[in-house]
Chains A and B, each alone.
Chain A
């Protein structure tokens, strides 16, 4: 996900691992990354001569810098995309800063959502297919897992069964995340039937304005993916893909396993670094966390446990919402076009032509997924 692949033009000599075709279509070498930047020269010229620098000039410098940030790769150097790299730098820094003290932790957890919102508003809104959020998800999961295995487990307070259960759930959530992102939408008759109607009774008339696909019933266009998705639910920024009938089941599995693994890791980490008490059976909850800031290692674990708890809110909320919509038999796109009065009553009173009753809605969710596969 770090590397953005772009179609390379055919060249007579194959590229060595340090060469690449730059954005102007010319052959370039990564050692020359600091040489001969026409855009920068022009910008400095303008600055020296006090000519008013037009905004596109600045953008050109940035795009050249981004084009030249590459790592050697077989068959030509690969480009590192800035938006994918940012979370990998940002998150460890935020964790480290948050571990300095209670006030730093509070500051980090309040500034993190503001930071993401601001980055989205100012910068990533202009890049339709940004990998920033997807990279944020992967970096968070990786960071929590690394901190858990390298810092928390060596305290020897977590039994091997608990550890294996956690690893299993994490593996399941990664697998389902992979499935959600890679499953293709099949263009078949079956799919249309799964979409809630059969072809005979409905007339296919309209073509989509955006991509020209024939609009089947319950199909909706996604501006980010630039295509139409059957039974489109939403475009999930954090997973970097659209959710439709083709991957809805895996999406639910992913949300469920992700919620469990985040909550469980948070519980394991917090009960290790804090003083726990026994609620019932082997279920422990943290009781007193006042001592975590005496040592940096404890504090880092504490911050990651807290982060994992906060992050768990997102998949838990999305899971509940999605389950509710499946039970009602409506898609996310239909939900958003509902009048406010229906939304305030949680959609129960809305006109739902495609709903087949609570049990059958869930049955078709599983049945269609099996047919697609």
Chain B
């Protein structure tokens, strides 16, 4: 699939690149939650660097890794990645990206629109169909101000599923709507992995989105981490987060 070449020497440590011969029209940060998928990450990085450089976009790539034994918490990792990235540089546009999705069409511009944008609406494992209209998972791009306004992703979804639907409702609650590009443009190829089922708690959480929107999100994610460490790698900024369960989870268990 990789039909472009990327120039490794032009990439600054921490995975930052900008076109040398012109001024980039868009500046974005890619936030990638990650755990235990070495092969996927290598494929993703080599593919995305060439893809984004072909689009002449100024970008940086932040890979947020969860180290603890608890279930994977995608929403929390996005919040950590977002806050950490903002400490390094001013970024107007964020793209929240799964590590197993690769865009197929070079015309799929990696930038923000005036509304939050669902980018992965046509994925091969769904036969390139959109399963349901409110799907907002996979790859999502949002302006920094909008992400701040909806109070980011929820932190309380441990395990697969639910946090993307929660984010969709947060966006709707704030009076915004989502946009998608044409299916021929937003085609994605999903790297193979085993399908998972959403745990019942996550479905339960979805019943109380509005009540938790101001309490659970960007302003609250620190309660869930014991330490956050940044390592500047050759092709990406590696953020290692030690996730812990806050008080109320311990009481339940």
A→B interface (CB under 8 Å): 155-159, 271-272, 275-278, 282, 284, 288, 291, 294
Contact = CB atoms under 8 A, between A and B. Distances in A.
Interface stretch (B109-117, B125-133, B154-162): B125-133
Interface residues of B, number: 14
Given A275-B192, A291-B194, A159 B124 contact: no
22 contacts: A155-B131, A156-B132, A157-B126, A157-B127, A158-B127, A158-B129, A271-B127, A272-B127, A275-B125, A275-B190, A275-B192, A276-B125, A276-B127, A277-B124, A277-B189, A278-B124, A278-B187, A282-B128, A284-B124, A284-B127, A291-B194, A294-B194
Contacts, number: 36
A155 to B, nearest CB: 8
B129 A156 contact: yes
Given A157-B129, A284-B124, A284-B127, 17 more contacts: A155-B131, A156-B126, A156-B129, A157-B127, A158-B127, A271-B127, A275-B125, A275-B190, A276-B125, A276-B127, A277-B124, A282-B128, A284-B128, A288-B192, A291-B192, A291-B195, A294-B194
B131 A156 contact: yes
A186 B192 CA distance: 60
A124 to B, nearest CB: 41
Contacts of A155: 131
A275 B131 contact: no
A159 B129 contact: yes
Contacts of B194: 291, 294
A272 B126 CA distance: 7
Contacts of A276: 124-125, 127
A272 B129 CA distance: 11
A158 B131 CA distance: 9
Contact of A278 (B128, B131, B195): B128
B102 to A, nearest CB: 12
Interface of B: 124-129, 131-132, 187, 189-190, 192, 194-195
A288 B127 CA distance: 13
A278 B129 CA distance: 12
A126 to B, nearest CB: 48
Contacts of B125: 275-276
Contacts of B192: 275, 288, 291
Contacts of A282: 128
User: Can you list the 8 inter-chain pairs with the closest CB atoms, starting with the nearest?
Assistant: A156-B131, A157-B127, A157-B126, A157-B129, A271-B127, A159-B129, A275-B125, A276-B124
A157 B124 contact: no
Nearest to A281: B184
A205 to B, nearest CB: 63
Q: Output the residue of B125, B187, B190 with the most chain A CB within 10 A.
A: B125
A241 to B, nearest CB: 38
B66 to A, nearest CB: 24
B125 to A, nearest CB: 6
A49 B192 CA distance: 69
Contacts of B189: 277
Contacts of B190: 275
Contacts of A278: 124, 128, 187
A341 to B, nearest CB: 50
A159 B130 CA distance: 9
A357 B192 CA distance: 55
B121 to A, nearest CB: 13
Contacts of B129: 156-159
